[in-house]
Chains A and B, each alone.
Chain A
Amino acid sequence: MTDHAVHDMPASVAPARWQDYVQLLKPRVMSLVIFTALTGLLCARTAMNPVLAGVAILCIAVGAGGSAALNMWYDSDIDARMRRTRGRPVPAGRVQGADALALGITLSLFSVGLMGLAVNWLSAGLLAFTILFYAVVYTMWLKRSTAQNIVIGGLAGALPPAVGWAAAAGAAPLNAWLLVAIIFMWTPPHFWALSLYTQSDYAKAGVPMMPVVRGAASTRRQILGYSLALIPLCLAPAFTGLGGAIYLSVAAGGGAIFLALAARLAASRAGDAVDERLSDQALYDVRAGGKAARNLFAFSILYLFVMFAALLVERMLGLEPLHLAAALKGLAA
């Protein structure tokens, strides 16, 4: 932070601590990015120097942090109007917007540069694309302009496995993009379930989330539609030589629960009654009709985590993946 900024700060605002700059990097999101990128890196099944593998994961994490800081800089006006985000360092006045911008640009450039020099330029290019997509396409354009914001913008959150795979193998084959497709298709049911019971906040901030623009009933139907498309995608790795028996059981069993929760949500009235209470706690209080939305939101996190964990476990135990597509072809022949 600049000296000028410190002296201009209102007396009531606490000075920026280093922890505020860590908060700009969205560490919880960063941990999910690290997890999915590590899965992609290990699923490549390529011998990679462990130091360089660590550097690749570090670069992906720092790149995610950089794009998060850019998001916090650009979205500080929206964040200030939402209960969930108004305590963030920029809207709370602890960090100047210009400092968040500088941190975001610096971390983004360093992460991409180091990835290119230390690992390979394909992964660096994919990382740069991910950062730009999140900071520019999603944050600056889609988020404020269309109800499809998190559908298209979800690509940024889906790409880390491909970046990790490219870091290990120097290529991004079909299976890498299958992991990307799973996260991409998982994002709409996940976020829309959340937005069904926090939509009043989005409406106040002027963010065109699906329940705000198209209504809760349409959102519930779309959640079910995306869920129906998601589950076959989650089963596909067992057919393409990516996931093994553990993965298949987890994806199929969890997928059945996911679909049941999505169907229950579609039949519910979640999101129909907008909660206008103003307290911070009220944001996460769930009315009776909203329980179905919260259940799907919570389970969606568990489902994605367990599927990727299954892939990691299979890789670490040296278990062979299934090739059900080839087996079916053999049977047909």
Chain B
Amino acid sequence: MSDPWNEGPKAAAARRGRSIAIALGLVAFVVLVFVVTIVKLGANVIAAHPA
């Protein structure tokens, strides 16, 4: 259903745009935390096992 709140096509399109933006933001945040974790973990592993 494209307009579940019966708010009209313009408002429904705006809501859909906002929802997609929030979804992309959350995905980006999860990826960012993952990458930061790997980077910091990698640095600690190298520090713990010097060549």
Q: Which residues of A contact B (CB under 8 A)?
A: 1, 3, 6-7, 14-18, 21, 49, 51-52, 55, 58, 110, 114, 117-118
Contact = CB atoms under 8 A, between A and B. Distances in A.
Contacts of B35: 51
Contacts of A21: 18, 21
Contacts of B18: 1, 16-18, 21
A329 B21 CA distance: 57
B32 interface: yes
Given A3-B5, A6-B7, A118-B40, A17 B17 contact: yes
19 contacts: A1-B18, A3-B5, A6-B5, A14-B10, A14-B14, A15-B11, A15-B14, A16-B14, A16-B18, A17-B18, A18-B20, A21-B21, A49-B43, A51-B36, A52-B40, A55-B32, A114-B32, A117-B36, A118-B36
- Interface size bucket, B side? 10 to 19
B27 to A, nearest CB: 15
Contact of A49 (B5, B14, B15, B39): B39
Interface in B1-26: 5, 7, 10-11, 14-15, 17-18, 20-21
A117 B11 CA distance: 38
Contacts of A51: 35-36, 39
Q: Which 7 A-B pairs have the closest CB atoms?
A: A18-B21, A15-B14, A15-B11, A118-B36, A18-B17, A17-B14, A51-B39
Interface string B31-51: 011011001100100000000
Contacts of A118: 36, 40
Contacts of B33: 114
A117 B32 CA distance: 12
Contacts of B5: 3, 6
B35 to A, nearest CB: 6
Main secondary structure of the interface of B (DSSP, over half): helix
Contacts of B29: 110
Specify which of B5, B14, B20, B29 lies most central, judged by the most chain A CB atoms within 10 Å of its CB: B14
A55 B17 contact: no
Nearest to B22: A18
A172 to B, nearest CB: 22
B11 A6 contact: yes
A6 B15 contact: yes
Contacts of B14: 14-17
Contacts of A18: 17-18, 20-21
Contacts of A16: 14, 18
Nearest to A17: B14
A329 B39 CA distance: 44
Contact of A55 (B10, B11, B15, B36): B36
A58 B32 CA distance: 10
B21 A52 contact: no
Given A1-B18, A6-B15, A21-B21, A15 B10 contact: yes
